[in-house]
Amino acid sequence: MTALAENIQAVEVRLPCTDLKEDLPFYTKTLGFRLDTIFPADDPAVAVLSGYGLRIRLERGAPEAPGTLRLLCRKPETVANGERILIAPNGTRIEIVDVNVPLEMPETKHAFVVRRLKDNTPWVIGRAGMHYRDLIPDRLGGSIIASHIRIPDAGPVPDMVHYHTVGFQLIFCYKGWVRLVYEDQGPPFILKAGDCVIQPPEIRHRVLESSEHLQVIEIGVPAEHVTTIEHEMDLPTSVLNPDKYFSGQTFCRHEVEKAVWAPWRLEGFEFRETGIGKATAGVASVQVARAVGGAYGQVTSHHSDILFTFVMEGAMTLHGEGQGGHALTAGDAYVIPPHLRTSLSDCSEDLELLEVSLPAVFETIFHANESLS
C-alpha cells in the first residue's frame, strides 16, 4: 500500500440538499443507504451516508448541481418497485441498471468500403499510448471496428491486465513483434509478423513489450465494446488450460512458420488457415491468401454478412459492380458487402491479403462469362 493510500481514509461525493427531512428517508429506505453522521443536532445541515462502496455527503446549500447516481443491480426489477429512473428530493437522478449489460450486436449496415493508406487517414492516440487508424470509418452501423495500430518505439508497453466484453476480437501482427500474456494460456510469448491470436470474450490479457515500429491489425465485433481493467488477477496465471471456454470460444494462436498452404476460394491464390473458425465455433474465420499466378479477373460474389480484407503486401486493382476500379497497395483495406459482384486484376507477384469473415462459413458464387474490368 502506498503512503497516499494509507493517508486517505475515505472519499465522499457531495450532493446539494434543500431539506434533509425529505432526503434522508429516500436515501435510507428507498435506496438502502446507511446514515453514518448528521450535524448540527439542533438544525441538521449535513448528513453522511454510506452503502455499496460509496459515501454520500448531503449538504444544505452546497453549490454543486444534483448529479446522477447509477445503481448497478443483479435484479433491477426488485429495486424501488421496479422503477428504473428516480428523482431524489434534492434533485439527484437515480438510474437503476443491470450490472451485467448484455452485449448488443447491431445489425450490419452493408456498404462497399475502400480505405487507402496514402489518403493520410489521421492516427489517433488511444489506450496505452498506441496509435490507431480506422479502417472502416462508418463501422458498418456499429457492427465492426477494424483498426490499424502501431507502436513507434521499442520497449515495455504501459498496459494493465484487462479484458473486453466483445463478441469477436482478432489481433494480427502485421509488422515487428509484440510480447503478450493471456489468462490460463501459459507464460508470455512473442507474436511475430504474420502470427495472430483471437481474444475470446473476457479473457484476461496484457500487452507487455513491443519491437520498434510494431504494427497490428485489430478487429472487434461489435464496434463499441467495454474494456475493463482487472485489478485482482496477475498474469501469467498458475493454471494452464488451453481448452478453456470463454463464452463459447477458446483461445487460438496461429504461427505463420507452422502454416499449411492450400488452394483458396479465389483462383490464382493459395491460403493458410488460422484455426479461428473452429475456435470461435463459427463466429468468424481469418485467412491469409497470397497470389500464386494464373487467371485473375473472375467475377464473384459472396453470402457472408461481413467480409473485410487488408492488403498486407503487393498491389492489385479491385473492381466492384457499379463501383469502378480501385488500385490498392500495402496498407489499404476494403469491405465487400454480400451479393455485390467484384473481381481482382493486376495482381502483383507478392500480393498477400488478410481476410476476415463473419460468419466463418459462407458461400462464394462464381459468375462465369462476366467482366467488371
What confidence tier does 366 reach under pLDDT thresholds 50, 70, 90?
A: very high
What confidence tier does 253 reach under pLDDT thresholds 50, 70, 90?
A: very high
Smallest CA-to-CA distance from 221 within 335, 142, 133, 148 is with 142
Rounded Cα gap, residues 170 and 108, in angstroms = 18
pLDDT at 368: 87
- Whether residue 235 is predicted with pLDDT greater than 90 in this model: the reply is yes
CA distances from 146 to 26, 70, 289, 362 (A): 47, 32, 19, 20
| Contact indicator for 314, 348 with CB cutoff of 8 Å | yes
pLDDT digits (tens, 9 = 90+) for 51-82: 999 999 999 999 999 999 999 999 999 988 88
pLDDT at 127: 67
- Whether residue 221 is predicted with pLDDT greater than 70 in this model: the reply is yes
| Contact indicator for 307, 353 with CB cutoff of 8 Å | no
Percent of the chain with pLDDT over 90: 82
- The residue-averaged pLDDT of 166-193 equals 97
Smallest CA-to-CA distance from 215 within 271, 278, 148 is with 148
Rounded Cα gap, residues 32 and 16, in angstroms = 19
pLDDT at 34: 96
The full set of domains in the chain, from first to last, is 8-98 (3.10.180.10), 102-373 (2.60.120.10)
| DSSP H/E element including 279 | helix 276-279
What confidence tier does 152 reach under pLDDT thresholds 50, 70, 90?
A: confident
| Contact indicator for 160, 332 with CB cutoff of 8 Å | no
What letter does residue 249 receive in the DSSP assignment?
A: B
Return the C-alpha cell found at 89: 428530493
What confidence tier does 124 reach under pLDDT thresholds 50, 70, 90?
A: confident
Rounded Cα gap, residues 176 and 279, in angstroms = 25
What confidence tier does 164 reach under pLDDT thresholds 50, 70, 90?
A: very high
